[in-house]
Amino acid sequence: MLQVEHLSKSYDEANILADIGFSVRRGEFFGILGPNGSGKSTLLKMISGVEKMSSGQIRIDGKDLGDYSRKELSRSLAVLQQESLPSVNFTVKEVVEMGRYPYQNWLGEEKGDHEAIINSILNKLKLVELQDRSLQYLSGGERQRVALGKVMAQQPKLLLLDEPTTYLDIGYQIQIMDLVKAWQNEERLTVVAVLHDLNLASIYCDRLLMIHKGEAVCLGTPEEIMRSELIKQVYGTTPIVVEHPIHKLPQIMLQQGGTFGE
Ligand SMILES: Nc1ncnc2c1ncn2[C@@H]1O[C@H](COP(=O)(O)OP(=O)(O)OP(=O)(O)O)[C@@H](O)[C@H]1O
């Protein structure tokens, strides 16, 4: 579904990403991890076509990213960010409907029954009661659910998540991740997610790529990535790694001290 080969990016003289390569299968949930400033968002921006690569290749469904028109790309991929929606005076339903723009002509008209698609999304995301409410009067968690509704209306094959749960409490974090996971399973959606929370990444992602200082240091299953030595090497702090009692996947526990002077 997605192939990234020898991808590099530099701004002026500074190398931000060097020779990154990986491929993601259709229906896979792929996580990108790494400390602040390691280049995760830059990588995602290049995959979404917002940022130009310095060298390398990105292919989606076998087709070079550069060969997609803007509208065609919007039907193939969608991006959900940290705070995707500003607090503006549009209703919830209007915002979800905006996700249909790649399917509309220049008059904003669409051939198929877009009303049925929108209503099914509002139902699925439990937004029916909020549909006429202005975005201004929603909490951050509710707004992020509307943002998810908008990208669902886009009906992409590839969903890019850029730290979508950063400003959410634990309840909303799980809610957003569960909704994405359910969508992934139903539609065989491919998900590429930049996540800061290693524990969430471990329980939701099939495979993880760890980036450090612009280089890919490890690619593998959560069991292969969530190792205390690797986390220490990359993040400079040594966590305790334990097994999740239900999911049987690695989880980390932080401990005081241990970042400086070791
Ligand atoms: N437009 C730009 N011009 C110059 N340098 C940039 C630009 N955008 C990003 N950078 C630099 O590239 C590096 C990687 O940034 P990026 O935002 O991709 O990291 P990140 O891993 O997503 O970080 P974080 O986890 O803090 O969001 C940083 O050092 C940043 O300062």
Tens digits of per-residue pLDDT, 150-195?
A: 999 999 999 999 988 888 889 888 988 999 999 999 989 999 999 9
- Using alpha carbons, list the distances in angstroms from residue 149 to 79, 80, 180, 229: 12, 10, 10, 39
| pLDDT tens-digit map of 87-96 | 678 999 999 9
Closest by CA position to 199, among listed 148, 243, 260, 164:
243
Q: How far is CA 77 from CA 82, 152, 210, 215, in A?
A: 17, 10, 23, 25
What pTM value is reported for the model? 0.90
Residue nearest to atom 8 of ligand 1 (CA): 42
Half-sphere exposure of 174 (CA within 13 A, CB side): 4
Instruction: Report the separation in Å between the CA atom of 11 and the middle of ligand 1, taken as the mean of its atom positions.
Output: 10
The tokens of 198 are what?
Answer: 């290693």
Radius of gyration of the chain (CA): 19
37: Cβ below 6 Å to ligand 1?
yes
Look at the block and give the residue holding tokens 């139902």.
123
- From the alpha carbon of 211, which atom of ligand 1 is closest? 21
Q: Is 218 exposed, middle or buried (0-12, 13-18, 19+ CB in 10 A)?
A: middle
> Are 40 and 32 within 8 A, CB to CB?
yes
Residue 252 Cβ contacting ligand 1 at under 6 Å: no
Q: Does the CB atom of residue 36 touch ligand 1 within 6 A?
A: yes
Reported as a pLDDT band with limits 50, 70 and 90, residue 67 is very high
Whether 258 has a pLDDT exceeding 70, the answer reads no
